[in-house]
């Protein structure tokens, strides 16, 4: 089963200077372990909302709004697409993923199973 780990972050709470070299090293170790275990399919951080565009469909019309988005407190700051045998295993990997960030970050990870064509959701 594939799971999407969405990493939600309050952009105002990001430590000055972004991730430390130590965090990047620890994250690199974990991502390497996940890759070797055949779990990690893809991962990336996302650029700030100030560089994004939001599209909204209503009544058949599409409206575009450039960032930053004032009403957004938490936004998706990154993601990981993983392959896991169960939701419990996906939660374990997400727990480790969050854990390497230490106590200077405030993050939330939402883990959702990817719908596979023709497969039952577990």
- pLDDT per residue as tens, the chain (122 positions): 999 999 998 887 788 888 889 999 999 999 999 999 999 999 999 988 889 998 999 999 999 989 887 766 678 989 999 999 999 999 999 999 999 988 888 899 999 999 988 766 55
Q: What is the pLDDT of residue 98?
A: 92
Q: Return the pLDDT at 14.
A: 80
- Whole-Å CA distances, 38 to 7, 33, 41: 21, 9, 8
pLDDT for the residue 89: 97
Q: Where are the domains of the chain?
A: 2-46+74-113
- 3-class DSSP state for residue 90? helix
d(CA 45, CA 24): 12
CATH of 2-46+74-113, one of 3.30.70.1060, 2.60.120.280, 1.10.10.10, 3.40.50.150: 3.30.70.1060
Q: What is the pLDDT of residue 103?
A: 82
Q: What is the pLDDT of residue 119?
A: 66
Per-residue model confidence (pLDDT) at position 122 = 57
* pLDDT attached to residue 5: 96
Spell out the residues 6+ positions from residue 9 whose beta carbon is closer than 8 angstroms to its own: 74, 75, 76, 77, 78, 105, 106, 107, 108
Extended beta strands in 1-122, E state: 2-10, 40-45, 53-58, 61-66, 74-83, 107-113
């Amino acid at each position: 089963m594939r799971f999407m780990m969405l990493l939600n972050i309050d952009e105002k709470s990001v430590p000055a200077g972004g991730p430390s070299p130590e965090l990047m090293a620890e994250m690199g170790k974990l991502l390497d372990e996940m890759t070797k275990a055949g779990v990690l399919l893809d991962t990336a951080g996302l650029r700030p909302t100030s560089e994004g565009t939001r599209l909204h469909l209503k009544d058949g019309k599409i409206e575009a709004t450039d960032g930053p988005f004032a009403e957004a407190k938490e936004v998706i700051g990154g993601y990981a697409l993983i392959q896991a045998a169960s939701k419990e295993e996906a939660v374990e990997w997400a727990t480790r993923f969050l854990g390497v960030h230490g106590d200077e970050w405030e993050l939330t990870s939402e883990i959702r199973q990817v719908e596979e064509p023709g497969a039952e959701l577990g």
